[in-house]
Amino acid sequence: MQVSTDTIQSNFSLKDFNTFGLDCTAGAFLRLDNPAELSLLPELISRYENYLILGGGSNLLLPDYFDGLVVQIALDKLQTRESDSDVLVNAGGGLNWHELVAFCVKENYGGIENLALIPGSTGAAPIQNIGAYGVELKDVFVCLNAFDLQTGEYRCFNREEMEFGYRDSVLKGRYKGRFIIADVWLKLTTRDHRINTSYGALAGDLEKKGVENPGISDVFKAVVEVRKSKLPDPGQIGNAGSFFKNPVVDAGTLESIQKKHSDVVFFELQSSGMMYKIPAGWLIERCGFKGKLKGPVGCYEKQALVLVNRGGAKSSDLVTFAGEVQRSVAAEFGIFLEPEVNIVQPENYGDVISL
Let me know if 85 is a catalytic residue: no
8 A C-beta contact, residue 288 and residue 252: no
Q: Choosing from 242, 286, 315, 354, which is the catalytic residue?
A: 242
Q: Which helix (H) or strand (E) holds 45?
A: helix 41-45
Helix (H, G, I), strand (E, B) or coil at 37: helix
CA pair distance 265, 91, nearest whole angstrom: 37
Let me know if 191 is a catalytic residue: no
Helix (H, G, I), strand (E, B) or coil at 41: helix
CA pair distance 232, 42, nearest whole angstrom: 38
Helix (H, G, I), strand (E, B) or coil at 201: helix
For the chain, how many helices (H) and strands (E)? 9, 20
> How far, CA to CA in Å, does 8 sit from each of 12, 33, 355?
9, 13, 22
Q: Which helix (H) or strand (E) holds 127?
A: helix 124-128
Angle at 84 between CA 79 and CA 85, to 5 degrees: 85
Let me know if 13 is a catalytic residue: no
Q: Extract the runs of DSSP E, i.e. beta strands, from the chain.
A: 9-13, 25-32, 51-54, 60-61, 65-73, 78-82, 86-92, 131-132, 135-136, 141-148, 154-158, 179-189, 238-242, 248-250, 267-269, 275-277, 293-294, 297-300, 303-309, 342-343
Q: Helix H segments across 148-304?
A: 159-162, 200-208, 216-230, 251-260, 280-286
Q: Choosing from 58, 113, 121, 167, which is the catalytic residue?
A: 167
CA pair distance 132, 232, nearest whole angstrom: 16
Q: Choosing from 113, 136, 340, 354, which is the catalytic residue?
A: 340
Phi, psi of 71 (to 5 degrees): -115, 115
CA pair distance 200, 260, nearest whole angstrom: 26
Catalogue the active-site residues. Answer: 167, 242, 340
